[in-house]
Amino acid sequence: MAYPANYRYTREHEWIEVDGKTGTVGITDYAQNSLGDIVFVDAPKVGATVKKGEVFGSVESVKAVSDLYAPVSGTVIEVNEELASSPEKINTDAHKAWIMKVELSDPAEADSLLSAADYDKFVAEETGH
């Protein structure tokens, strides 16, 4: 799987695409593949504050419920309402089906996240492939 080079990644399998002070957040293809069929996404409310490394919501699949961890700190400015009725969009294209958009409180936080190449290497080490 090729991970978008313009995204940054967490070791908990979230991605973020930063554009100025706005970050678009979702889960990686590896995460959706590991979870299986996603049946529910619990996203934060617009206006909520998220803190880097802390839980901001969850995704529920037929196999399990997994917490979502914020890759950066900031304020939620938009949530992907489509996922409420069509959570399977994450399974279809995890790198396009974003979960929330955040106004970053410190854009430099994203610099400490994994690059696409580093994330790919991390997944390979985690899976033994």
Q: Is residue 34 part of a domain?
A: yes
Q: Is residue 120 part of a domain?
A: no
CATH of the domain at 56: 2.40.50.100
pTM of the model: 0.96
pLDDT in tens, 53-62: 999 999 999 9
In this prediction, residues 34-51 reach a mean pLDDT of 97
Q: Is residue 126 part of a domain?
A: no
| Contact indicator for 74, 105 with CB cutoff of 8 Å | yes
Q: Is residue 61 part of a domain?
A: yes
Q: Is residue 100 part of a domain?
A: yes
Q: Is residue 41 part of a domain?
A: yes
| Residue-range definition of the domain harbouring residue 78 | 8-106
Q: Is residue 89 part of a domain?
A: yes
In this prediction, residues 87-98 reach a mean pLDDT of 97
Measured in degrees and rounded to the nearest 5, phi and psi for residue 125 equal -70, -40
Give how many domains the chain has, as a whole number: 1
In this prediction, residues 88-97 reach a mean pLDDT of 96
The amino acid sitting at 49 is T
Name residues whose C-beta falls within 8 Å of residue 45's C-beta, 6 or more positions apart in sequence: 76, 79
Q: Is residue 17 part of a domain?
A: yes
